[in-house]
Amino acid sequence: MKALRTLAVPLFVGVATCSFHASPHAQQKLRGWQFIAETESGIRQYIDMDALKKERGFVRVRTLTDYRKPVWSVTSKRVYSEVDERLVDCSNRRSALLAAAAYECRMANCAPKEDYKYSAQTPEFEPIAKTESLGSNLYSLVCQK
């Protein structure tokens, strides 16, 4: 389980050297997912706005990450998309992964090949990068004052 976290968490905290731009369809919803941002390397992030909810001082959020080029999972499967569920602690700028699923198709339009759940009772929080990244874009969106 820790290995998938290694795959999923860097996607959330992002890479400081990437620059982000809005797609022409940035406000458009695609099968329930609203586009947030895209890196120059083609990693697109979406959010399920209908699943956003405040919970014990945190924001629970589901995101979909879609890859232009596949990445490899810990079990050597090609992954074209991932869906993560997280708790975001807006006051301390950190998040905890609650669940992650990896898909061998784009936009999670098939059954997951790998599916993991983490403890919601004792979540492991990690800081969200302050540089522009997929994680900071998500933080800004769900933690608007």
Mean pLDDT of 26-31: 47
pLDDT at 114: 84
CA distance 91 to 102: 29
* Segment 98-139, tens digit of pLDDT: 999 999 999 999 999 888 888 777 889 999 888 878 888 888
* Segment 29-83, tens digit of pLDDT: 456 799 988 988 889 999 998 889 998 889 999 999 999 999 987 777 899 999 9
Q: Considering only residues 28 and 82, tell me which one the structure prediction assigns the higher pLDDT.
A: 82
Domains and CATH numbers, the chain: 2-142 (2.40.128.710)
Measured over all CA atoms, what is the biggest interatomic distance in the chain, rounded to whole angstroms? 41
Q: What does the buried/exposed string (b/e) look like for 53-82 if buried means 16 or more CB atoms within 10 Å of the residue's CB?
A: eeeeebbbbbbbbbbeeebebeeeeebbbb
Beta bridge partners, 87, equal 60, 96
pTM value surpassing 0.75: no
